[in-house]
């Protein structure tokens, strides 16, 4: 009995110990999956990576740094990362179903038997039994294999989902970073406009004091100054709001002092539509996930079809019984026995009133559904890429037009100001030229920001990780 128990314990230890292959897989030379998350592996107790009380103070962050920091510390990616880890553990659980199972049981029963004439009486303390069984699935109608393959496919799909979430976060950070740069440029432009209008008010007031200009010109200049001050206030508020939003995306407090550095520059994009489509079909995580969904649906159908086949398993058990809790013999009517058994058993549900048949049909239609959805997604990707590329081209053309407009508006303002100082032009000419210059500068800033934003969206649409957009 002791030797049999020792054998079972050693066998259990062998199957439960990690394999050499699994240990090698965690080493430095382990294979990298197709989609690898950018987040570092944080604590497994559900706590987010903490930031110090003064963290973020006096930081100097570029767009590249902002994207990497958001991927590292933004809590919203934690949910998707946890889902990926959960799927990987599910795959390991499905793999364990291939191995043997070890079970133990302990039972007690007491009988009261009345017979005439009296024969063998049952033990007064009852009967106690203890058993150990180890069983090994031999054939389960390919169900175990289908379940494992489905879990492995789901793990791969969730890795792609994490990559997709990272790309989405990259797009959000870059869009907000560009908005911040846009608002900073707007603040500078509005302040320059305010300075021009204050100079004009000073000149107009001086002319009025000597009787060269009417009071109306002074009033008009004052109104324009107040309107410019209001525009500066709005631009500064937009900048601070964008600043706080960007801090939040980076996992920093909204009040953290950060120096975000960058410029709205034009970085040429030379890829053709065909090249963009090829990259998207090859790299987009959602297309990869759609393909995996079709395969997962197929494995679900295969698992359902396993009920068409018999289930076969082998087993070995040892049973010991006695009439005391420690399985010993006690009393005249007591007994003690020990048996072992090895064998195989098969079960087969031959007929279930169409349960398996219709479940198989249901799973088959779900496979068809997943295939149609994957095809529809591929068509949508084509439209998405073309629309994003057209947005890039449009913004690029707007930059060229806006640069010429700023150049002409600047010259027009200087001419109007010179004419006014020479008492040839009017106050309205100067104010109008200043307003057009401010509008032209805002259009140029917007075109540059829109170009980089469209470029960021295009890279994400192609499934391409580009943390730095403003690098020539």
Residue 257: predicted pLDDT: 87
DSSP H or E segment with residue 346: strand 336-347
pLDDT band at 426 (very low <50, low <70, confident <90, very high): confident
Look up residue 221 and give its two tokens. Answer: 């200049």
If one counts every other C-beta atom within 10 angstroms of the C-beta of residue 130, the result is 18
Token look-up 């960007």 returns 246
Once rounded to an integer, what is the mean pLDDT over residues 437-458? 93
Half-sphere exposure of 211 (CA within 13 A, CB side): 0
Give the least confident one: 161-175, 202-216, 386-400, 456-470: 202-216
Residue 118: predicted pLDDT: 57
CATH assignment, 55-98+139-310+352-461: 1.20.1600.10
Residue 383: predicted pLDDT: 93
Q: CA 206 to CA 212: how far, in whole Å?
A: 9
Look up residue 69 and give its two tokens. Answer: 């920091």
Residue 7: predicted pLDDT: 40
Look up residue 201 and give its two tokens. Answer: 């008010």
pLDDT band at 329 (very low <50, low <70, confident <90, very high): low
pLDDT tens for residues 34-54?
334 444 433 333 333 344 444
pLDDT of 451 higher than 70? yes
Residue 421: predicted pLDDT: 85
pLDDT of 234 higher than 80? yes
pLDDT band at 33 (very low <50, low <70, confident <90, very high): very low
Q: CA 380 to CA 334: how far, in whole Å?
A: 79
pLDDT of 126 higher than 90? no
Residue 124: predicted pLDDT: 63
What is the DSSP annotation of 83-118?
HHHHHHHHHHHHHHTTS-EEEEEEEEE------SS-
pLDDT band at 16 (very low <50, low <70, confident <90, very high): very low
Highest mean pLDDT among 116-130, 195-209, 392-406: 392-406
Domain boundaries, the chain: 55-98+139-310+352-461
Residue 393: predicted pLDDT: 95
Residue 412: predicted pLDDT: 92
Contact 434, 197 (CB under 8 A): yes
Token look-up 């303002």 returns 413
């Amino acid at each position: 009995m002791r030797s049999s128990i020792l054998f079972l314990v050693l066998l259990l230890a062998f199957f439960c110990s990690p394999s050499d292959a699994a240990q090698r897989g965690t080493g430095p030379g382990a294979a990298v999956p197709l989609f690898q998350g950018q987040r570092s592996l944080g604590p497994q107790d559900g706590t987010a990576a903490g930031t110090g009380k003064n963290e973020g103070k006096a930081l100097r962050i570029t767009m590249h740094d902002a994207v990497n920091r958001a991927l590292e510390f933004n809590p919203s990616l934690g949910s998707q990362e946890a889902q990926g880890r959960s799927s990987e553990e599910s795959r390991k659980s499905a793999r364990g179903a291939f191995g043997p199972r070890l079970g133990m049981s302990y039972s007690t029963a007491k009988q009261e038997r009345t017979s005439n004439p009296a024969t063998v009486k049952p033990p007064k303390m009852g009967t106690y039994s203890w058993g150990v069984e180890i069983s090994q699935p031999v054939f389960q109608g390919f169900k175990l294999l289908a379940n494992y393959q489905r879990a492995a496919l789901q793990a791969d799909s969730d890795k792609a989902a994490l990559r997709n979430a990272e790309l989405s976060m990259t797009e959000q950070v870059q869009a907000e970073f560009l908005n911040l740069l846009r608002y900073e440029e707007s603040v500078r432009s509005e302040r320059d406009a305010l300075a021009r209008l204050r100079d004009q008010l000073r000149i107009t007031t001086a002319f009025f004091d000597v009787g060269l200009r009417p009071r109306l010109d002074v009033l008009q200049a004052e109104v324009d100054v107040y309107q410019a001050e209001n525009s500066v206030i709005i631009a500064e508020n937009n900048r601070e709001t964008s600043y706080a939003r960007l801090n939040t995306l980076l996992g920093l407090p909204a009040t953290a002092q950060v120096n975000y550095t960058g410029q709205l520059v034009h970085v040429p994009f030379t890829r053709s539509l065909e090249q963009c489509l090829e990259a998207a079909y090859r790299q987009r995580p959602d297309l990869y996930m759609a393909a995996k969904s079709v395969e997962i649906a197929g494995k679900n159908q295969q698992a359902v079809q396993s009920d068409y086949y018999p289930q076969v398993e082998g087993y070995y058990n040892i049973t010991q019984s006695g009439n005391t809790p420690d399985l010993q013999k006690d009393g005249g009517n007591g007994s003690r026995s020990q048996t072992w058994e090895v064998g195989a058993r098969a079960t087969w549900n031959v007929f279930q009133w169409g349960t398996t048949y219709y479940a198989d049909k249901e799973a088959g239609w779900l496979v068809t559904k997943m295939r149609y959805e994957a095809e529809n997604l591929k068509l949508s990707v084509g439209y998405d890429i073309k629309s994003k590329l057209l947005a890039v081209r449009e913004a690029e053309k707007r930059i060229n037009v806006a640069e010429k407009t700023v150049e002409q508006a600047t010259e027009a303002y200087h001419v109007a100001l010179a004419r006014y100082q020479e008492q040839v032009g009017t106050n309205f000419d100067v104010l109008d030229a200043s307003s057009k210059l401010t509008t032209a500068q805002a259009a140029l800033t917007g075109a540059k920001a829109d170009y980089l934003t469209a470029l960021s969206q295009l890279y994400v649409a192609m499934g391409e990780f580009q943390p730095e957009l403003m690098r020539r």
